[in-house]
A and B are shown apart, each in its own frame.
Chain A
């Protein structure tokens, strides 16, 4: 871990300790910094922006309500993503995810037809991009929820194995196993994209 990372740990933890003392301005700073990563993580987990934002509010609400018991024992980001993972995995476990996904699929189809009808000059390029995006989205969606969470934290949040392990409450070797299985599946599904566009 480099010095910059250490400084970040201290700064976020310090802000959270100030929140614990009743400083709401520090909470606003933490929110400004971590809002986008949390929402993007949840969006890629659930694949529905409205639901992702709803769940992100739940995450930040839990952060705020946990302020009294907060102890800076782990990196703030790790603690935050532990909450976010819990919220996302619970949402998926409760089966709400499938219902959201159905409506998303309908929206995608409608969106595609609208584009075909109204933007004829760029339709081919757009359709290729849409198809690629759809392929990536589906490949990630088909991963088991825990593998998906591990991959998203590794790829987009650039979290270390130890942080992902803490967030998912499992061992580092379990995280390595989750990641290798997940990337193996993704390689099998997406490797043919090499050299495309």
Chain B
């Protein structure tokens, strides 16, 4: 704004400077220039007067007093939030897993490890035992062999018996 040349802030699209004047945020030199302009420009004078009325009205709007326990309530809320935050940090992976937030991707390494262990143990297992069915089958074979041996002995005994009778 150039007050000396009587350039009007309203005319040259610089009403911002009038607003700053009303807000008393201009430097002293600029304030003096505006005040000089206002003596000559009715439009800007009216605008500034209205703005100052609004400004004064807004000054009259006082804020309410703040509750005495505001800080205490805030610190309690912060403490609660911090506790929740710590709990969430610890349980987050589990909760995300059950909520489906992480999908199945993190499970795959665990599945791969489990499968590897199963395969390795099935190939080379020092504690491996025979299946129950096989054990029963082996026991049956042994009994059958024993029975057959007993039968053979009985047959030999019968064959020897007539020779004894003949010799008598």
Contact = CB atoms under 8 A, between A and B. Distances in A.
Interface stretch (B33-41, B60-68, B104-112, B155-163): B60-68
A190 B54 contact: yes
Range class of the A interface residue count: 35 or more
A60 B74 contact: yes
Given A44-B63, A61-B77, A191 B71 contact: no
Contacts of B145: none
Contact of A35 (B51, B57, B70, B77): B70
A1 interface: no
A137 B67 CA distance: 21
A193 B78 CA distance: 45
Interface string B68-82: 001101100110010
B23 A35 contact: no
A126 interface: no
Contacts of A52: 64
Given A40-B63, A136-B61, A61 B73 contact: no
Given A132-B57, A137-B61, A183 B66 contact: no
Main secondary structure of the interface of B (DSSP, over half): helix
A180 to B, nearest CB: 7
A99 B110 CA distance: 52
B77 A190 contact: no
Interface string A3-46: 00000000000000000000000001001000110011001100
B148 to A, nearest CB: 85
Given A57-B77, A136-B58, A43 B63 contact: yes
B107 to A, nearest CB: 30
A57 B51 contact: no
B64 A136 contact: no
Contacts of B25: 158
A83 interface: no
A91 interface: no
Interface string A147-180: 0000000111010000000000000000010011
A80 interface: no
Given A35-B66, A136-B61, A191-B50, A155 B55 contact: yes
B53 interface: yes
Interface in B1-50: 15-16, 19, 23, 25, 49-50
A132 B54 contact: no
A64 interface: yes
B62 to A, nearest CB: 9
Contacts of A31: 71, 74
A100 interface: no
Interface of A: 28, 31, 35-36, 39-40, 43-44, 49, 52-53, 56-57, 60-61, 64-65, 132-133, 135-137, 140, 154-156, 158, 176, 179-180, 183, 186-187, 190-191, 193-194
